[in-house]
């Protein structure tokens, strides 16, 4: 379980100096202990235990109010998070202050940066609006990460993992240590693979991280590049309860097609086979140049120049596709099987800069950022049954996106009174400008009385957001109390613009969202016990809430609701019972409601009706976990049990469109052999879902009417029963 406060860092003097310089890089997006923000820090032990091969959401799920979801069933591949019921597009993620959320979809695709957890030095989770950050707005919270500190001595590591469903990882890391008193070079290579619990849910991830740093007493320059190539089988279509009953929990239909001599037979006798390259393929390269300079004991400056390149596509087999929707085809055939490719190529570049003035009573930070994003999207066909390749040439859709995102902020933390404790006043003001453009034709076929046409895109929207934050905090040796109020804004995503026609009765654009976040918290800390409570009230105007439906790329379809709120209380306690055993628990009790909800799903049986106060989709009212952290000699063990309450897929509170509550237990075991020169070997074993609980971590669904009858369609992502992942890591 994560500590409520950051752990101390014990290193040599040179290493400590280097570590302090690392902290300067991200102080603009991270919160201090006195900052009136609900926050948790993942400590080193949490990071090590989560670096066997699973994605970062596995580690983030250790923090309060956080849920990790996964499509392949084992925590590798298509993973995501929710915080206080808020989806990942509203959780701002940065590394070294650079936004990781895709500017178009606002999502973070963790498999695009495989094994990033092994290169992370610190992770801070802020719940609520948090402090000023870069990139898309933080509407549920933010995750601020730093890359690991460059060390002053030569070192390295080799890591091997293997476990259930052919899950495997190989990683090699080496660092030069300090050369010529100023230079350090650090590199890491990793491969992660798995067959997945879900049938054909294979993952093949290759990644790298290279850092080169120069530092002296006052200046540090670091150039780093990280990223990798990901190939994952498409598993985003879920499975129904009936399909699970007939074919088992590992079944899904992606890539399935009917054929007379197919090797697989469905319950009705139909023979089927599967297209073996139904995959998502993506290459992402992240590059950062970080400059830190300390002018004197009061003034510091840091700046980050960044550029990210991405190129990706996915292959899909479509059975009996209506060819009228593929405008590049030259044929009179109405329906045919085909293989299509959806492709994108994106560039993101920009600059973050901030200066800090620090005295014994005042910490003042001001700065800003600017970024520019461009991304063409297009589609091609490699095969259409019955057609020659030349008859399927060209693009069946083609559109472009550009986005400018700029912000300026000033933040102050002022000690107005000091004595046995310190009374802090906190203020943060951010101005953010967004210009989003999208044009061309989309991949959606619009069927009308006059035939079929590809959906035109013509979006040109500018947003000016002012995001103020005010707070007060009291910090003493054992006590930390705070109160704050913050206003945050957020623009719609690409899918909010382009896919609205799929459920809305009109052609209007989505509206930007506004959040007023009120937080009140208290933490008590002693030598053995740390306990905290946090109350929050998040008031939304025009919140974009999930309808339960998804588009063809598994992006949630959202609709604005004028008046909604999330309010709750978060409890956290950690008790170090002995030197070798720490018990911890956290719990979140909440209400997540829409006032006067009017159903806008045009195919829904309740379309246009005011349903009164409804529960927001994907928002459990109860979440919590308990853990036991045991460590004696070289042996350590962590028992972690998490409970997540019932979630609705839609905002209508329909039982048939819901995700059952679940409780799952994971265990981490480790033994470390150390030598006098700090070389060590660690053996680890991670046991997921110890009691083989049959549960699903995510799903989606919707209602429709047909011949006067109502139908509810729900699809789920089952998680694996008990499974294992063993690891050995050699540090030298």
pLDDT tier, 193 (very low <50, low <70, confident <90, very high otherwise): very high
**470 CB-contact burial (10 Å; exposed 0-12 / middle 13-18 / buried 19+):** middle
**pLDDT value for 242:** 96
pLDDT at 13: 34
3-state secondary structure of 662: strand
Per cent of the chain over pLDDT 70 is 95
Model confidence at 215: pLDDT above 90: no
Instruction: Evaluate whether 59 touches 44 at the Cβ level (below 8 Å).
Output: no
Q: Which of 7-11, 115-119, 401-405 has the lowest mean pLDDT?
A: 7-11
Instruction: Please enumerate in sequence order all residues whose Cβ is within 8 A of that of 468, keeping only pairs 6 or more positions apart, or say none.
Output: 427, 428, 429, 430, 486, 487
Of 314, 309, 313, 422, whose CA–CA distance to 363 is shortest? 422
10 Å CB burial of residue 576 (0-12, 13-18, 19+) is: middle
Q: What mean pLDDT do residues 546-556 have?
A: 77
Of 223, 224, 227, 230, which is closest to residue 208 (Cα–Cα)? 227
- CA distance linking residue 372 with residue 39, whole number of Å: 30
Average pLDDT value for the chain: 91
- State pLDDT tens for residues 125-159: 999 998 988 888 888 899 999 998 888 889 999 99
Of the candidate ranges 117-121, 174-178, 427-431, 574-578, the one whose mean pLDDT is the lowest: 117-121
pLDDT tens sequence across 456-465: 999 999 999 9
Q: Are strands 581-594 and 622-632 parallel, antiparallel or unpaired?
A: antiparallel
Q: DSSP characters for 590-640?
A: EEEEESS-B---TTSTTTT-B--SEEPTT--SEEEEEEEEEEETTEEEEEE
377 pLDDT more than 80? yes
| Rg from Cα positions in the chain | 26
Quick one: which of 144, 141, 145 has its CA closest to 127?
141
pTM of the model: 0.93
**Residues 141, 127: Cα–Cα separation, whole Å:** 4
Residue 352 has pLDDT above 60, yes or no: yes
Pairing between β-strand 141-147 and β-strand 91-95 as defined by DSSP bridges: parallel
Indicate the helix (H) or strand (E) that contains 160.
Answer: strand 155-163
Residue 230 or residue 52, greater confidence: 230
- Average pLDDT, stretch 378-383? 96
pLDDT at 1 over 90: no
Interval 407-425: pLDDT, tens = 999 999 999 999 889 999 9
State in words which class domain 13-731 has. mainly beta
Alpha carbon distance 722, 725 (integer Å): 11
- 619 pLDDT higher than 50: yes
| pLDDT for 706 beyond 90 | no
Closest CA to 337 of 322, 348, 325, 350: 322
* 4 — pLDDT class (breaks 50, 70, 90): very low
**Mean pLDDT (whole number) for 660-685:** 93
Q: What confidence tens digit (pLDDT) does each residue in 478-515 have? A: 999 999 999 999 999 999 999 887 777 667 889 999 99
Q: What token pair was written down for 56? A: 């970062």
> 341-379: buried (b, 16+ CB within 10 Å) or exposed (e) per residue?
ebbbebebebebbbbbeeeeeebbbbbbbbbebebebbb
Q: What percent of the chain has pLDDT over 90?
A: 77
DSSP string, 109-138: -GGGSTTGGGGEEEEEEEESS-S--SSS--
Quote the pLDDT of residue 325: 87
Give pLDDT, residue 139: 84
Higher pLDDT, 162 or 18: 162
Please name the residues in contact with 320: beta carbons below 8 A apart, sequence gap of 6 or more: 335, 336, 337
Residue 650 has pLDDT above 50, yes or no: yes
Confidence label for 448 from pLDDT (cuts 50, 70 and 90): confident
**Across residues 311-334, what is the average pLDDT?**
92
Read off the pLDDT band of 23 (50, 70, 90). very low
CA atoms within 13 A on the CB side of 336: 20
HSE, side-chain direction, 13 A CA sphere, residue 253 = 15
- Whether the predicted pLDDT of 678 surpasses 90: no
pLDDT at 224 over 90: yes
On the question of pLDDT at 447 being above 70, the answer is yes
- Find the range with the poorest average confidence among 114-123, 365-374, 578-587: 114-123
Range of weakest confidence among 247-261, 444-458, 656-670: 444-458
The label of the residue with tokens 């006052």 reads 218
* d(C-alpha 209, C-alpha 211), whole Å: 7
Domain boundaries, given as residue ranges, for the chain: 13-731
Contact (Cβ atoms closer than 8 angstroms) between residue 564 and residue 598: no
Q: What pLDDT sits at residue 137?
A: 80
Query: In this predicted model, what pLDDT tens digit does every residue of 31-63 receive, in sequence order?
Result: 888 899 999 998 878 888 888 888 899 999 999
């Amino acid at each position: 379980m994560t500590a409520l406060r950051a752990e101390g860092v014990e290193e040599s003097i040179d290493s400590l100096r280097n570590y302090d310089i690392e902290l300067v890089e991200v102080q603009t997006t991270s919160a201090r202990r006195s900052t009136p923000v609900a926050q948790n820090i993942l400590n080193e032990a949490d990071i090590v235990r989560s670096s066997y091969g699973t994605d970062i959401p596995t580690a983030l799920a250790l923090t309060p109010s956080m849920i990790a979801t996964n499509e392949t069933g084992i925590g590798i591949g298509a993973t995501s998070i929710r915080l206080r019921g808020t989806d990942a597009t509203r959780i701002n993620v940065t590394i070294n202050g650079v936004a990781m959320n895709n500017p178009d979809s606002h999502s973070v695709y963790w498999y695009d940066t495989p094994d990033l957890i092994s290169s992370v030095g610190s992770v801070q989770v802020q719940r609520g609006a948090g402090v000023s950050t870069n990139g898309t707005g933080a509407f549920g919270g933010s995750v601020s990460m730093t890359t690991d500190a460059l060390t002053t001595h030569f070192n390295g590591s080799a890591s091997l993992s293997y476990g259930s469903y052919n899950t495997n990882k190989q990683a090699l890391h080496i660092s030069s240590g300090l050369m010529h008193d100023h230079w350090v070079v650090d590199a890491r290579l990793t491969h992660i693979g798995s067959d997945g619990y879900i049938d054909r849910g294979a993952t093949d991830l290759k990644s790298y991280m290279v850092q080169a740093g120069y530092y002296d007493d006052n200046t540090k320059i670091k150039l780093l590049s990280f990223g990798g190539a990901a190939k994952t089988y498409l598993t985003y279509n879920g499975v129904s309860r009936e399909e699970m009953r007939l074919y088992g929990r590992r079944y899904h239909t992606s890539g399935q097609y009917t054929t007379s001599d197919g090797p697989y037979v469905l319950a009705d006798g139909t023979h089927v086979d599967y297209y073996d390259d139904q995959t998502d393929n993506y290459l992402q390269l992240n590059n950062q140049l970080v400059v830190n300079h300390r002018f004197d004991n009061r003034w510091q400056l840091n700046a980050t120049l960044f550029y990210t390149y991405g190129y990706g596509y996915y292959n899909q087999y479509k059975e009996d596709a209506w060819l009228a929707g593929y405008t590049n085809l030259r044929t009179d055939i109405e329906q045919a099987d085909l293989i299509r490719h959806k492709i994108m190529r994106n560039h993101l570049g920009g600059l973050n800069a901030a200066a800090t003035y620090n005295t014994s009573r005042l910490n003042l930070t001001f700065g800003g950022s600017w970024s520019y994003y461009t991304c063409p999207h297009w589609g091609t066909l490699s095969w259409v049954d019955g057609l020659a390749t030349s008859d399927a040439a060209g693009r069946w859709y083609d559109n472009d996106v550009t986005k400018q995102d700029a912000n300026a902020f000033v933040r102050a933390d002022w000690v107005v009174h000091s004595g046995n404790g310190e009374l802090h006043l906190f203020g943060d003001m951010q101005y953010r400008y967004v210009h989003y453009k999208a044009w061309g034709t989309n991949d959606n076929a619009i069927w009308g009385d006059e035939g079929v046409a590809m959906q035109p895109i013509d979006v040109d929207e500018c947003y000016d957001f002012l995001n103020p934050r005010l707070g007060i905090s009291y910090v003493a040796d054992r006590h930390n109390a705070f109160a704050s109020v913050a206003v945050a804004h957020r623009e719609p995503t690409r899918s909010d613009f382009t896919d609205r026609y799929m459920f809305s009765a009109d052609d209007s654009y989505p509206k930007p969202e506004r959040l007023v976040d009120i937080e009140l918290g208290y933490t008590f800390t002693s030598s053995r016990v740390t306990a905290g409570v946090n109350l929050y009230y998040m008031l939304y105007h025009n919140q974009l809430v999930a309808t339960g439906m998804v588009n063809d790329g598994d992006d949630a379809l959202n609709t604005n609701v004028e008046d909604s709120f999330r309010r709750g209380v978060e409890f956290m306690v950690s008790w170090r019972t002995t030197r070798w055993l720490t018990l911890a628990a956290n719990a979140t009790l909440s209400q997540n409601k829409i006032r006067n909800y009017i159903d806008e799903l045009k195919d829904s049986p309740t379309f246009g009706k005011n349903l009164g106060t409804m529960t927001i989709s994907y928002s459990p009212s109860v979440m919590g976990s308990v853990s036991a952290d045991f460590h004696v000699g070289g042996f350590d063990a962590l028992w972690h049990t998490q409970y997540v309450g019932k979630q609705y897929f839609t905002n209508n509170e329909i039982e048939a469109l819901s995700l059952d509550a679940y409780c799952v237990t994971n265990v981490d075991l480790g033994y470390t052999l150390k030598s006098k020169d700090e070389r060590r070997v660690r053996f680890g074993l991670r046991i997921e879902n110890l009691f083989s609980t049959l549960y699903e971590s995510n799903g989606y669904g919707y209602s429709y009417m047909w011949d006067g009858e109502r139908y509810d369609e729900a699809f789920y992502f089952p998680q694996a029963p008990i499974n294992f992942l063993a690891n050995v890591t050699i540090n030298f």
